[in-house]
């Protein structure tokens, strides 16, 4: 019959190279690393000591994580500031690191993303009633994390 795979329990010495490779593969948060270490069978004190060691060795850096997260979300997924900020808060990133990460946003590219999304949604929206149409598009852009004042400025610029 089927038997579930037993999790291997690692010692602190065995876990260090594994978690270092885990951190080197892509940017991680301290919470992600701590959770992974607990999955390896380490206790909370050992996990915290390894997190501190990884931070000192520059393998783990939440400021760098926040910057990478922001670059990816605003350039690839075209998220707005508010949604990015919520995403970082959900990951347990500090307010300081969030502010540092948000500095990665180029205002010109951010504006172009908003205009692109507005034009694209305006073409695809099936609603015929102009007020309902505008409201649906505005809700969509707000759900993407864009600020209401910028959305209204974009409407004006496009003459919609």
pLDDT 10s digits, 93-133: 999 999 999 999 999 999 999 999 999 999 998 888 989 99
Q: Assign 3-state DSSP to the chain and report helix, strand, coil percentages, each to 5.
A: 70, 0, 30
User: Which pLDDT belongs to residue 3?
Assistant: 62
CA atoms of 29 and 134, how far apart (whole Å): 38
| pLDDT 10s digits, 2-39 | 666 677 888 899 999 999 999 999 999 999 999 999 99
| pLDDT 10s digits, 46-90 | 999 999 999 999 999 999 999 999 999 999 999 999 999 999 999
User: Which pLDDT belongs to residue 160?
Assistant: 73
Q: How far is CA 39 from CA 44, 47, 49, 82, 106, in A?
A: 11, 10, 15, 32, 38
User: Which pLDDT belongs to residue 10?
Assistant: 86
Name the one residue in this structure whose structure tokens are 């885990």.
22
CA atoms of 96 and 68, how far apart (whole Å): 15
User: Which pLDDT belongs to residue 150?
Assistant: 96
Nearest Cα to Cα of residue 87 among 104, 76, 101: 101
Nearest Cα to Cα of residue 21 among 73, 66, 46, 57: 57
When computed from its CA atoms, the radius of gyration of the chain, rounded to whole angstroms, is 21
Q: Quick check: helix, strand or coil at residue 41?
A: coil
Nearest Cα to Cα of residue 142 among 74, 82, 86: 82
- Tell which wins on pLDDT, 158 or 89: 89
User: Which pLDDT belongs to residue 89?
Assistant: 96
User: Which pLDDT belongs to residue 1?
Assistant: 59
């Amino acid at each position: 019959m089927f038997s579930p795979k037993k999790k291997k329990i690692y010692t602190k010495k065995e876990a260090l190279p594994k978690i270092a490779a885990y951190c080197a593969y892509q940017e991680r948060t301290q919470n992600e690393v701590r959770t992974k270490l607990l999955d390896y069978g380490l206790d909370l004190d050992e996990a915290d000591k390894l997190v501190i060691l990884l931070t000192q060795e520059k393998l783990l850096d939440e400021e760098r994580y926040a910057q990478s997260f922001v670059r990816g979300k605003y350039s690839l997924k075209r998220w707005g500031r508010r949604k990015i900020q919520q995403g970082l808060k959900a990951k347990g990133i500090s307010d300081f690191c969030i502010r540092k990460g948000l500095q990665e946003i180029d205002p010109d590219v951010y504006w172009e993303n908003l205009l692109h999304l507005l034009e694209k949604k305006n073409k695809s929206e099936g609603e015929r009633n102009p007020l309902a149409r505008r409201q649906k598009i505005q809700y969509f852009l707000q759900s993407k994390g864009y600020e209401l004042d910028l959305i209204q400025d974009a409407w004006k610029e496009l003459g919609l």
